[in-house]
Chain A
Amino acid sequence: MIRLTFDPFDPGALLSEFCRDRKEVGAVATFTGLARADTGSTTILELEAYPGFTEGQIGKIADQARARFTLDDVLILHRVGKIAPGEPVVFVATAARHRRAAFEACDFLMDYLKSKAPFWKKEHGPDGARWVEPKPQDHADLARWEKETST
């Protein structure tokens, strides 16, 4: 399931719900991204999405992850709007028969979300606001998966 939300969420509750009634899955991996204060330089993080398009694009990559890592299930919840430091921004959960697939799928999905998912991120701080674009490291992280695909 792919969902965007303006409201804060509880990663623990999401994990409990995601694990409920799974008798054949064996492995669930999760990632929770928190908004960072960057030693006071960011007071509010603001995320913008393109409703409909954003969920659709993430859905396509979730389908790729399902096929590539033979997942039983995927959950991606992403905040939009204004987010305070320390609040969860993104929660990814993957379910598979074995742990390696679950871990790798979670890693793959996060690398995609950092640099290719349709979100635009603005950091508000004492020195004003600035738009954040993917860093070279984010592109390098995503490229790891492309190399593996082409070989």
Chain B
Amino acid sequence: MARVLLFGRLSDLAGWRDREIDSPFLSALRSRLAAEDADLGQALAGPGVQVALDQVIVRGDAPLNARTEVAFLPPMSGG
């Protein structure tokens, strides 16, 4: 089971911030989340949303193992 984390406006939109989801690939995880919640699926694919696997930013698809931490990161702003 991958651990999926949503940050910023994504967690407000989805109504959750932390879930265990079983999925072999990042692409399959995206499809599954989009099938459950079309608005969330669209937001996750939106401009400026990055993905970190085990705290490392990735681009494109990637395999997930049972303990992968998948974080969806909308545009960041500190200070």
Contact = CB atoms under 8 A, between A and B. Distances in A.
Interface residues of A, number: 26
Interface in B35-60: 48, 52, 55
B75 interface: yes
A52 B55 contact: yes
B26 interface: no
A133 B47 CA distance: 12
A131 B79 contact: no
B52 A119 contact: no
Interface residues of B, number: 16
Nearest to B5: A50
B78 interface: yes
A47 B55 contact: no
A121 B8 CA distance: 7
Interface of B is mostly: loop
Given A53-B55, A53-B71, A118-B73, A78 B9 contact: no
Interface string A38-50: 0000000001101
Contact of B78 (A52, A56, A121, A131): A121
A32 B76 CA distance: 19
Contact of B9 (A120, A134, A138): A120
Interface of A: 33, 47-48, 50, 52-53, 56, 78, 89-90, 110, 113-122, 131-134, 138
26 contacts: A47-B78, A48-B7, A50-B5, A50-B55, A50-B71, A52-B55, A53-B71, A78-B78, A89-B79, A113-B79, A114-B79, A116-B76, A117-B76, A118-B73, A118-B76, A118-B78, A119-B76, A120-B7, A120-B8, A120-B77, A121-B78, A131-B9, A131-B12, A133-B74, A134-B75, A134-B77
